[in-house]
Structure 1
Amino acid sequence: MTNPSDIPTHTHHVQEINQKENATFDVLSATNGQVIAKVGVSSTEHAEFALSQCDALFKNRDRWLSLEARVGILERMVGIMETRREELAKTIALEGGKPLSDANVEADRAIQGVRKSIEALSSEAGYVVPMGMYANSAKRMAFTQKEPIGVVLAISAFNHPLNLIVHQVGAAIAAGCPCIVKPAANTPLSCIAFYNIAIEAGLPNAWLHVVTAANHDVASLLVKDKRIGFLTFIGSAKVGWMIKNQVHDGVRCALEHGGVAPVIVTNNANLTEASASITKGGYYHAGQVCVSTQRVFVDNQVAEAFIEQLTTHVKALKTGDASDPDTDVGPLIRPSEVDRVEEWVNEAINAGAIVSAGGKRINDHFFEPTLLINPPAQVKVSTHEVFGPVVCIYTYNTINEAIALANSLDVAFQAAVFSNDINECLHCYRHLAASAVMVNDHSAFREDNMPFQGLRSSGLSTGGIKHTIEEMQIDKLMVIKSDSLL
């Protein structure tokens, strides 16, 4: 078991102004509930200080960071992160409960994400606007250049406590935007580590502020402030849409919610590959992923064989301490989530769902990897994002029936289809209501530069390193009139 003293010391460094009369809140291990760190509670005074500093920086264009300066900072950040990779991974596992094997992957992705920010800047360019085609634009030339949109407010989530910060804050640094970030109260240590790395790499202190709080009061004040130019939020749809309704007029928003992700397995699928892939897609990080595979629609002709294979995989998963390299499924982020998942699973069972694996809580921190067969359409595991280690199997007779079921909810994010028939794959790609369709891969696949976009109630705007940087910038136009032009 990892002890609080094992946390890398650099994650304890918090801005002094971040504390309200020395008030702190406890950061708890997701694995056992033990206190692993104490972090200062941000005050309204700190929020105002952060806003005023960021606003003053943005308004004084002579103080903007040049492209060369931003690239240099990001390059140095990569170097520092590489030397601290193991420490960063341990912090991810300790505070968030992500199994160490997956935490190592997240640390690598975070480093790659900063590299991708540099790559995005290397190809960043405006464009020429054609002039002179008609008399009203004669003797003119026009072009655009990229400029930062304004102060970024980033409200992040617990499930990828480092990589999501890279997507939100790293992108802001690359775009040239001063940034205020509020990490999830359950997982602030990875964000604080990232802050310290950025400052060590040469980012001026005033350009980045970490707001840590165990409640939403300070975040609410920040959200409503007119000095914010861009809001990036990752979390529940309920909170995200509420926040969007509170922001000041003209603030550009990027919201990333959940998807209750559907996967279709046809009778032409390789069941061995499909069952192994869906096991990873459904139980990675105990299902606490916005595109986690949750609803699997299986052709009746192969359902029995597929369920048998998937059940074998699920029962073989090792649940336990996130710091154990052999752990497959870690804890849920807090005991209240175990209570909720237990309630939803019991509702489904009482309504007629068959339990093929799991189905019970282990203790206050863990829930068994669970596989439910044909839960009724109206129960919560069929209609809401579980955000827990639960996958549901539904059988179907025709591919169009499966697509209709997959599209039946007011969510749309990533989906997947398993089939060796290219026509079936293309048919699903065309007709599934999703921003991305994986073919012969699970719904939770993500490469950090690809567009990542929730539709309907699942979100707003497009994520992915390159796309987020673009969202945080404007195309500023210059039109030159000269008699020397045609």
Structure 2
Amino acid sequence: MTSHAETTSKSDAFAVLNPFDQSTIGQYSYTSEDEALAALDEAHRCHVARDGWLSKSVRIAILDKLASLIEHRTDDLARCAAREGGKPLKDSVVELRRACEGVKVAAREIAQLHGTEIAMDLNAASAHRFAHTYREPRGVVLAISAFNHPFNLIVHQVVTAVAAGCPVLVKPALSTPMSCLNLVELLYEAGLPRPWCHALLTRHEVTEKLVTDRRTAFLTFIGSADVGWHLRSKLAPGAHCTLEHGGVAPVIVDETADIDACIPGLTRGGFYHAGQVCVSVQRIYVHRNVVEPFLEKLTASAKRLSVGDPLDPTTDVGPLISPREVERVDAWVREALTDGHTGRLIHGGRKLSATTYEPTVLLNPADDARISKEEVFGPVVSVYAYDDLDEAIARANAPDVFFQASIFTRDLDVALYAARRLHGMAVMVNDHTAFRVDWMPFGGHRQSGLGVGGIGHAMKEMTLERMVVFHSHRL
């Protein structure tokens, strides 16, 4: 699929590169400030004109049609996502199927956008009254997205806004705009009026003008913490936001854990999409009594992963999004192994090409190494031996992040103890940190973010709960 926004003639343009071979796969014009502000004005007018709001039944019909369109074009859309984002094709197909299911979830969740009766007549002051709440759209949603799931993230940010009845402007990562443009075109094809959704390929300074504009009622941001918190500080008074940043996802494997059972999930959770996932398994704290067999099995599993062209159906791990990221990850690994740090290289630790990095397993890097305290966003998993569960929990909780965490154990008391103490908005028991289904609440705390994602939860964030109180002596 191609988009109307593609260009080969304008000088104010940028290229989209295949992250594996760095070939140019598209060229697009930046959206100008005038164009962006005109789109915001058009979206704002859609919200102000209440009589023109999209009814729930219309929204459901649009999303039902959208799901059907995605389902019938999954192969083409997945190939586009793999080409621009570098996720292996087989995983991009799964992403598209998940996106299709997410659209269906959003359509179902529209029925849950309702209020409740508020009890009255509980005292003399509330006598002869009847009250209820209802939900209505907040206003224009500005969605700023990331590169790592170029289609499904847009579903989570744009389709939720449409389902909530909000006009939406979406600014995708400029390294992966094609999937976003495809989704917006599919929304139009499904019946969404064009003024209700605009894809904007803006530079940073224009994006910030949209954030600060009082007509922006809600910001949904997925990306780095530095940028997210900065943009939040620029929002107009009264605007709301959700921020989804990253984590340094910790896992604890206690001495009772079934090692054979946990290895496949931890391999998947750590190396899926070359580790470029906000809840990717990054730090694994393993009881010293079982660390050797654990390392042996994890290393053997990592060695079996095929690294290469994302369009090759046999590829398990594709490229990082840019050669610069490969250099950064390599520098972090080198730092963990040198400069007085204590880490040992168990497997990997090398660039396979300018764009790919070998799945890497480290043992006991220092807690103050960047690989231990910052989000690596690369195919590197570090294993740390521990002796005491409280020690493992304290080390797992040391970074100022709070997203998802895991505990592997056969001991119910250990599971409950760790689940209550690990810093995670969600703690998985006997599952990896990257587990997610799209209807569950999903989000970070502290440096990891603000607010709650997940299809239905995001829709509620994008709506206001208002109340009506009737007073009548006949009640």
Instruction: Flag whether TM exceeds 0.5 (same fold).
Output: yes
The alignment status of 1:370 with 2:382, answered yes or no, reads no
Q: For residue 90 of structure 1, what is the amino acid of its counterpart? A: R
Query: Which residue of 1 is the match for residue 430 of structure 2?
Result: 440
After superposition, where does 1:184-195 map in structure 2 within 5 Å? Answer: 184-195=173-184
Question: 1:312 aligns to what SS in structure 2?
Answer: helix
Aligned to 2:444: 454
Amino acid at match of 1:40: S
Equivalent residue in structure 2 for 1:13, among 4, 27, 32: 4
Secondary structure of 1:449's counterpart equals coil
- Residue 269 (1) aligns with residue 257 (2): yes
Q: Which residue of 1 aligns with 2:310?
A: 322
Q: Deviations over 1:184-225 (max 9, x none)?
A: 011000000000000000000000011113x31211111111
> How far apart are residue 462 of structure 1 and its match?
0.4
Counterpart residue identity of residue 30, structure 2: V
Q: Secondary structure at the match of 1:145?
A: strand
Shift of 1:360: 0.7
Q: In structure 2, what is the Cα distance between the partners aligned to 1:460 and 1:229?
A: 16
Matched, 1:70 2:72: no
Q: 1:128 to 1:168 in 2, by over 3 A?
A: same
Deviation at 1:423, TM superposition (A): 1.2
Q: Which residue in 1 is equivalent to 2:248?
A: 260
1:477 maps to 467
CA distance in 1, matches of 2:11, 2:99: 31
2:469 partner SS: strand
1:390 paired residue number: 380
Task: Give 2:134's aligned residue.
Answer: 145
- Are 2:35 and 1:34 equivalent residues in the alignment? no
Query: Is this contact kept in 2: 1:20–1:41, CA < 8 A?
Result: no
Secondary structure of the structure 2 residue equivalent to 1:239: helix
Aligned length: 473
**Equivalent-residue separation in structure 2 for 1:151 and 1:218 (angstroms):** 17
1:178 corresponds, among 146, 149, 167, to 167
2:289 corresponding residue in structure 1:
301
Equivalent residue for 2:391? 401
What residue number does 1:424 align with? 414
Post-superposition offset of 1:13 = 2.4
Structure 2 residue 221 is matched with structure 1 residue 230: no
- 1:136 maps to a residue whose letter is A
Residue 445 of structure 1 aligns to a residue in which SS?
Answer: coil
Conservation of the 8 A alpha-carbon contact between 2:252 and 2:407 = yes
Q: Is the 8 A contact 1:151 1:179 kept in 2?
A: yes
TM-score if structure 2 supplies the norm length?
Answer: 0.98
Look up the match of 1:59. Answer: 48
1:207 and 2:205 matched: no
Deviations 1:287-306 (A, max 9, x none): 00000000000000000000
Structure 2: how far apart are the matches of 1:326 and 1:463? 32
Which secondary structure does the structure 2 equivalent of 1:435 belong to?
A: strand
CA contact (8 A) 2:281 2:432 kept: yes
- The one-character-per-residue Cα deviations of 1:164-185 (angstroms, maximum 9, x if unpaired) are 1000000000000000000001
Work out the CA distance in 2 between the residues paired with 1:46 and 1:20.
18
Aligned residue for 2:99, secondary structure, equals helix
Q: Is the 8 A contact 2:283 2:381 kept in 1?
A: yes
The equivalent of 2:68 in structure 1 is 79
State the distance in 2 between where 1:22 and 1:50 align: 22
Structure 2 unmatched runs, 5+: none
Q: Which residue of 1 aligns with 2:270?
A: 282
Provide Cα deviations, 1:109-161, integer angstroms capped at 9, x if missing partner: 10000000011112332100111111111111011111001100000000011
Question: Helix, strand or coil for the counterpart of 2:87?
Answer: coil
- Report how far residue 15 of structure 1 moved: 8.8
2:96 and 2:33 mapped to 1: Cα distance? Answer: 32
Distance in 1 (alpha carbons) for counterparts of 2:182 and 2:261: 38
When normalised by structure 1's length, the TM-score is 0.96
Q: CA deviation at 1:483?
A: 2.1
Deviation for aligned residue 1:21: 5.9
Q: Deviations over 1:264-285 (max 9, x none)?
A: 0010111011122110000000
Q: Offset at 1:23?
A: 2.8
Check whether the contact 2:282–2:382 (CA below 8 A) recurs between aligned residues.
yes
In the alignment, the residues of structure 1 paired with residue 6 and residue 305 of structure 2 have an alpha-carbon distance, to the nearest angstrom, of 41
Pick aligned residue for 2:83 from 91, 94, 108: 94
The structure-2 alpha-carbon separation of the partners of 1:168 and 1:384, relative to structure 1 and needing over 3 Å to count, comes to same
- The match for 2:117 is 128
> C-alpha deviations, 1:241-262, integer Å up to 9, x for none?
1111111111111000011000
Are 2:249 and 2:279, in contact at CA under 8 Å, matched by a contact in 1?
Answer: yes
CA distance in 2, matches of 1:191, 1:284: 22
Distance in 2 of aligned mates of 1:374 and 1:76: 51
Distance 1:97 1:59 in 2: 40
SS in 2 for 1:132: coil
Question: Match for residue 5 of structure 1?
Answer: none
Contact 2:3 2:185 in 1 (8 A): no
Q: Check whether the contact 1:407–1:432 (CA below 8 A) recurs between aligned residues.
A: yes
Q: What percent identity do the matched residue pairs reach?
A: 47
CA contact (8 A) 2:6 2:27 kept: no
Residue type of the alignment partner of 1:49: A
The question of 1:250 aligning with 2:250 is answered: no
Q: Which amino acid aligns with 1:197?
A: L
Q: Counterpart of 1:3?
A: none
Alignment RMSD (CA, Å): 1.3
Match among 206, 212, 218 for residue 206 of structure 2: 218
Aligned to 1:466: 456
Q: Is the 8 A contact 1:20 1:43 kept in 2?
A: no
1:57-93 deviation per Cα after TM superposition (whole angstroms, max 9, x unaligned)? 1111111111111111101101111110111111111
Find the aligned partners of 2:371 and 2:290 in 1 and give their Cα distance.
23
Q: Does 1:44 align with 2:40?
A: no
Kept in 2, the 8 Å contact 1:332–1:367? The answer is yes
Q: Secondary structure at the match of 2:372?
A: helix
**Alpha-carbon distance in structure 1 between the residues aligned to 2:200 and 2:205:** 11
Work out the CA distance in 2 between the residues paired with 1:199 and 1:146: 25
